[in-house]
Amino acid sequence: MSQATRRFMRLIVFFDLPTKTKAEKRAYTLFRRFLLNDGYDMLQWSVYGRVVNGIDAEAKHLKRLSANLPPAGSVRSLTVTEKQFAGVKMLVGKPKFQEKKLNTDQLLLF
């Protein structure tokens, strides 16, 4: 694997899913559970993110995400580098425990 493809990035997923009927609520719950079980952390309501190690890992997780999409609603993804993600400014509130800044050397990948 070349140095260019081993760059740590964040895959961020934004979604807006309907929850009026029982079937829609179930689809929302299943999608949210998939995200949590796949290593995503909740950044805000309906915004989840995870660390990926390079372009190959990004493609793998996008494929898994596509395979688990709910039947209705809107789901979007955005990939940013760790440096770009570190530039996010908290305007109101406090960072969550999992949002504490870590050096790339301190990252653990499972």
Taking only the tens place, the pLDDT of each residue in 31-70 is 999 999 999 999 999 999 999 999 999 999 999 999 999 9
- 74 occurs within a structural domain: yes
- 18 occurs within a structural domain: yes
CB atoms within 10 A of CB 27: 19
pTM (predicted TM-score): 0.80
pLDDT at 105 over 70: no
- 92 occurs within a structural domain: yes
> Hey, is 95 helix, strand or coil?
coil
CB contact at 8 A, 85 and 50: no
Number of compact structural domains in the chain = 1
The pLDDT of residue 95 is 76
- The CATH number assigned to the domain holding 40 equals 3.30.70.240
In angstroms, the CA 75 to CA 15 distance is 4
- 108 occurs within a structural domain: no
- 77 occurs within a structural domain: yes
The pLDDT of residue 2 is 54
Output the six-digit token pair for 99.
């949002």
Overall average pLDDT of the 5-18 stretch: 90
Q: 98 is in which domain, residue-wise?
A: 3-102
